[in-house]
Amino acid sequence: MKMWLVRFWEADSKCLKSGDVWVLGMFSLMLGFSTLFFLFFLSLSRFDWSSCLMVSINISSVSMMDVSFPFLFDWISLSFGGTVCFISSWVIMYSRFYMGDDPFLLRFLMLVVLFVLSMNLLIFSPSILSLMVGWDGLGVVSFLLVVYYSNSESYSAGMITVFSNRIGDVFFIVFIAFCCSCLDFNFFGSMVYMKDVMWVLGVCVLLGSITKSAQLPFCAWLPAAMAAPTPVSTLVHSSTLVTAGVYIIIRFGYLMSESMKVLLLFLSIVTFFLASLSGVYEVDLKKVVALSTLSQVSMMMLALSLGFSVLAFYHLLVHAFFKALMFMCVGSVIACSGGVQDVRFLSGFWKKLPVSMAWYCISVGCLCGLPFMSGFFSKDLIVEKVLGSASGLVLFILCLMSVALTVWYSTRSLSLLLKSQENTFLSVTPEGSLYLMFALFGLGFGGFYGGYTFQNLLVEGLSYVEPSSPMKSLILFFLVFGLFMTWYTFEDKLWNAGKIFTPSSVLRFRSSMFFLPPLSGNYIGYKFMLCSCFMVKMIENFWVNKVLWESGFGMVARFSGSKARKFSGYMLSDISFSIFFIILVMMFLYLLFF
């Protein structure tokens, strides 16, 4: 223990470099904003949960038209904004450990700050027009971060990510177009009275949100986005890009009809089950955590479809903390093992990376919903709500099976990392960075105590249910069943067998969410690309350039351009004299009559 502490302090005993100064400065900035938002949230909650503060920044005022940028500060935006800034501060510090050798660390940090700024614009904007600035900013900056490593895999993942998000952008542009008819872009404005187009606005909100939150059938980009650096994945999967769709439905959910909520219920429960099933067969450690994010976001969507918006927001906050902690622990494993992400080659980390593995155990317990963990306060409450909603036997079975599968794949990855058997001769560097330690402990306490803390803060908005004893026993039974399946597959050495290295078609079918990501990402994107190229060739290159331009319009344009250049010298002097004469006449009339 003494030798480990000496090695721990010697690793960061050098003087501060320029990168350290930038990291500490950005960390202090984000942590300061987080503290400010949480203090504002606590002071606002002392008065009334329905109270809010609207701040409008006037950009320009021309004649009868005022252009302003509004900001809404209420308990939802302040708590979520504080959570985003708090997690971002520790992610910035973690980036110094994970990307310390990157020559473009400052550029990466600037992109991360711009990413967080776009998310905060989305959170605090009450206007759909200003909200679109943050929404588009998330899409553009996420593309830049996904392709940061500049290789073919990153470029492919970046294209899938940006194309999937642009589909949601189109629906929000349609939303803005319909809002122009009432000249009000605020979500609490007069568009509530647009009864004729209310269903159109609801469809735009639903489809735009499920693309950003990677619900069925737009779930291809989420596992592909793992090509980005791990600090980016920590932000994307905890509190920014993926959760933006959930936040939009919390804000604009009143526009959705009951039939739309039924559709959201179907999409969310199917995505929940497919993501959990694929996580059982996935061997890439980062993709396992990504699929766990997809399953938890689907659980939030499931709660929203049943009308439990405050409960979904509660799970959104709690999940953000322990998922960021989980990604940091996984990133430390990948960084210390030389970039290896295949969980079959990773073992014995309980003595190689003891601190990271301790926090990873806690984050896995939170994800599984073990008693007294933060996930237990929110996740089990959603399951109890679903079981008590009487929404059908199929929903009942799929929800419980997804819970068991979540416990299975999360504890399976933990067991493979902690097992003492050495599969390879990997040289693992010890965890000796102060930046890693501070980041893990900072987010660790937030992930461990987040559920209890936010439960006390949001107690007025949470409604509790008391399911019957068989229901409670059933939830516990499926949790234990997931643990049993982990023990069975681990003892049976299913994941060490030779057939896992040459998987069958059935195994690939299960691990790829029934071939949905290749279909929705590669095939559909390729077909749309071919269609776009065909339209460019037929419309622009043929009809515009060949037919219209060469049939007479080009001759007229060239003749007009030559004549304009010929007489430009003469016309310039005449126009200047005319403008000067008009100004003199207007000044004379002003002096004469006023």
Dist CA 198 CA 147 (whole Å): 38
pLDDT at residue 552, rounded to an integer: 56
User: Can you tell me whether residue 15 is helix, strand or coil?
Assistant: coil
Kindly indicate the confidence band of residue 9, based on its pLDDT and cuts at 50, 70 and 90. Answer: very low
Kindly indicate the confidence band of residue 292, based on its pLDDT and cuts at 50, 70 and 90. Answer: confident
Most confident among 194-198, 315-319, 346-350, 532-536 (mean pLDDT): 315-319
357 and 416 Cβ atoms separated by less than 8 Å: no
pLDDT at residue 259, rounded to an integer: 86
Dist CA 309 CA 161 (whole Å): 27
In sequence order, what are the residues at sequence separation of 6 or more whose Cβ sits closer than 8 angstroms to the Cβ of residue 296? 315, 319, 323, 367, 379
Give mean pLDDT, residues 74-90: 88
How confident is the prediction for the chain on average, in pLDDT? 74
Give mean pLDDT, residues 164-190: 70
User: Can you tell me whether residue 169 is helix, strand or coil?
Assistant: helix
pLDDT digits (tens, 9 = 90+) for 28-56: 888 888 888 888 887 776 666 667 777 77
pLDDT at residue 562, rounded to an integer: 54
Block residue for tokens 């294209």: 159
Q: Centre a 10 Å sphere on the Cβ of residue 466 and count the other Cβ atoms it contains.
A: 9
pLDDT at residue 523, rounded to an integer: 59
* Alpha helix ranges (H) inside 125-240: 128-146, 152-179, 198-212, 221-224, 230-238
Q: Give the predicted TM-score (pTM) of the model.
A: 0.79
In sequence order, what are the residues at sequence separation of 6 or more whose Cβ sits closer than 8 angstroms to the Cβ of residue 128? 172, 175, 176, 179, 185, 186, 187
pLDDT at residue 3, rounded to an integer: 47
The contacts found for 543-551 with CB under 8 angstroms, 24 or more apart, are none
Higher pLDDT, 302 or 577: 302
Give mean pLDDT, residues 449-460: 73
Residue type, 93: M
325 and 443 Cβ atoms separated by less than 8 Å: yes
* Alpha helix ranges (H) inside 419-539: 434-457, 469-491, 505-511, 516-517, 524-535
Higher pLDDT, 86 or 533: 86
Kindly indicate the confidence band of residue 309, based on its pLDDT and cuts at 50, 70 and 90. Answer: confident
pLDDT at 510 over 60: no
Kindly indicate the confidence band of residue 126, based on its pLDDT and cuts at 50, 70 and 90. Answer: confident
Q: Element (H or E) spanning 539, and its range? A: none
Give mean pLDDT, residues 346-367: 82
Q: Which sequence spans correspond to the domains of the chain? A: 299-494
Dist CA 259 CA 173 (whole Å): 23
